[in-house]
Chains A and B, each alone.
Chain A
Amino acid sequence: MSDLAPFWRDVLSDLNRQPMAATIDPLDLRSTDFARCHAVRLSSVDDYRLFAYFSAPDGSGPHPAILHASGYASVVQVPSYEERRTYASLAMCARGQRLSDRPYAAAFPGLLTDRIEDPGRSPLRGIVADNIRAVEFLSGQSEVDPDRIVVVGSDMALFATALAPGIRAAVVADPLLVNLGTLAHTVHDYPHEEINDYLRAFPDREETVRASLEIFDPSRLSDRIAARVLLSCGPPGSYFDRGRAETLARRIPRAEIYERTGRGYLDRIAIERWIAEAIAA
């Protein structure tokens, strides 16, 4: 395992110094007949207050748990009804997303290039910390079996798995930040296009931006990942196709690849089975 870069050592150090100060309040509106939902508020680096949905099945635990790492979108959804039957679930609203948007309300498009020329000030730094904090919170809940936590998401699932201890398994779909600096110019859909827009407007910052994107490339931490990882990739021609998934998988000690069929029902069942098996193993 490589030494952790000073940038990430500092993030972890900042996070360790920041008390979590979690509050957990019942959220009756989003509870079900078989699971209690809670509104969680907790602190992350820069003394930023975050919101998360936490649901746990009724009855004796501890339960296996799923952390929904934050994605690149403004809205974070309540954990799904069916999932909440079996798992404790935490859906994290990282800084900038709705419900965690004070004082920072991210723009979409916009978040990806916000202060990107300075990794120390980029919101991505705090967002990574927010997801590590989510793992810490989940691990500490009495309803949760800390040895059976699965992280589901994209880039932030990779970061959390690399930087937070104790995660059993991770499902990572279509990471955006992997190799983004060299990949962006080949993709003209958002959010990749944000990088193209930015470099067109500020061509003199290209080197700085690429250096920053390298710091925020989770694949650079991949040899630190001890968990089983399922890389969920798209069909040929998508930006994270099997070829790119294989490249990433070679850098992660225990990675497997699932190429989605395009038939969402079958894909969902396959991934649910993988998670169940990973937790049972």
Chain B
Amino acid sequence: MRGRRKSRIIGPVTGPHPSTHGTAVHRPADFEAFWDETLAILASSPVDVHFEHDRLRSTPEVDVYDVHYTSYQNVRIAAWYCRPAGARGALPAIIHVPGYVSEPAIPKGSARDGFAALSLAPRGKLRSHGQFNPGYPGLLTENIVDHRTYGYRGFYCDAIRAMDVIFTRPEIDPGRVAVAGSSQGGALALLVAAMRPETRCAVVGAPYLTGMIDAIALTHSYPYQEINDYLRQFPERRESAARTLAYYDLINFAPRIVCPVLINIGLRDDVCPPETGYAVFDALRCPKELHPYEDCAHDAGGQWHGAVSRAFLSRHLRGPT
């Protein structure tokens, strides 16, 4: 990692362009074995998915379902599922994965656009916090000194399992399932694409959880600042925290992805530094597209990029299977 001033992003850009990032992440020797073991533990819990039609939230155009399923270590996870009202047949589908502090939206908009859509609330979110609730701030450093019990281990599994959940729906086409999200949702979209080869394409905004150790040197914005806060209190735990984060850094998952990936970043993003967005993009070996937006922060050009994302999804989900 190159030496950099913290909070470089506050103020005019005078240093090197973020594309010359130099970000690298150590890949633990047992990275694959650790995740194979994690998936095996996940597989030992039946999905036990339950869809309940939500009359209050449904409309003449969209059927809404309140969803619950079982994930890693038998934690029950909530989600919303939407489809065009009364839809039958082979619908393209989108799994929406949430940001760090936001609650997952009910994805009616995707259903109005003709997609089946699942929007999940991984453990710790309001509707899934009965068995696990580290809080916000809190999740990012929950057991950060031990990769086996780190809070994100189960959290990642909750996203990975979403693919099994959506496959239980008879009206979706299992060959046309995309995953989409921004910030932490961007990280989870990359994760699902990496761990579920059934993923048709991934839409990734301002990806978080990439180049994490570099990120905490580049920014003081939350959520990454949680790690700085933690290490300020417990400086002797820096090495063990770094070791844990290497198992969860999306740069280490990126080479596994085979589906097309669309990424947008803000070149003035103080939440997920653009250097780390470039780093994960560089680590991808799949068909990929990057849209960097000048003078954009964590919005990452959302005002213009929505149309780009919709076109990308349409190209990959509505075309011939």
A residues at B contact (CB < 8 Å): 28-30, 73-75, 77-78, 80-82, 98-99, 105, 107-109, 188-190, 193, 196-198, 200-201, 235, 261-268
Contacts and interface: CB of A to CB of B under 8 A. Distances in A.
Interface stretch (B36-44, B277-285, B301-309): B301-309
13 contacts: A73-B103, A74-B101, A74-B126, A78-B137, A78-B225, A82-B10, A98-B135, A261-B295, A262-B296, A263-B294, A265-B9, A266-B295, A268-B297
B57 A81 contact: no
Given A74-B101, A262-B296, A263-B299, 17 more contacts: A73-B102, A75-B101, A75-B102, A77-B137, A82-B220, A107-B126, A109-B57, A188-B112, A193-B106, A193-B108, A197-B56, A197-B57, A235-B303, A261-B295, A263-B297, A265-B9, A266-B295
Nearest to B267: A265
B14 interface: no
A107 to B, nearest CB: 7
A197 B233 CA distance: 46
B295 A263 contact: yes
A36 B170 CA distance: 55
Interface in B198-242: 220-222, 225, 229-230, 233
A189 B109 contact: yes
Contacts of A266: 295
Q: A73, A75, A196, A200 — which one has the most chain B CB atoms within 10 A of its CB?
A: A75
Interface string B285-300: 0000000011111110
A188 B61 CA distance: 12
Contacts of B10: 82
A81 B268 CA distance: 16
Nearest to B219: A81
Interface in B134-149: 135-137
B55 interface: yes
Nearest to A268: B297
B105 interface: yes
Interface residues of B, number: 40
A114 to B, nearest CB: 13
Nearest to A267: B297
A196 B106 CA distance: 14
A73 B100 CA distance: 12
B59 interface: yes
B190 to A, nearest CB: 22
B317 to A, nearest CB: 22
B58 to A, nearest CB: 9
A74 B222 CA distance: 16
Interface in B1-37: 7, 9-10
A98 B303 contact: no
B266 interface: yes
A267 B266 CA distance: 13
A74 B109 CA distance: 22
A73 B103 CA distance: 8
Nearest to A264: B297
Given A29-B229, A98-B136, A200-B59, A262 B303 contact: yes
A77 B101 contact: yes
A190 B105 contact: yes
Nearest to A80: B221
Contacts of B301: 262
B56 A30 contact: no
A168 B154 CA distance: 46
Contacts of A235: 303
A263 B295 CA distance: 5
Contacts of A107: 126
A190 B229 CA distance: 33
B225 to A, nearest CB: 6
Given A29-B233, A82-B220, A188-B108, A108 B103 contact: yes
A122 to B, nearest CB: 18
A210 to B, nearest CB: 19
Contacts of A99: 135
B7 A264 contact: no
Contact of B106 (A29, A80, A82, A190): A190
B229 A74 contact: no
Given A29-B233, A235-B303, A263-B294, A201 B55 contact: yes
B220 A81 contact: yes
Nearest to B271: A264
A162 to B, nearest CB: 28
Interface string B89-132: 00000000000011101101100100000000000001000000
Contacts of B109: 188-189
Nearest to B301: A262
Contacts of A98: 135-136
A107 B104 CA distance: 12
Contacts of B9: 265
A265 B297 contact: yes
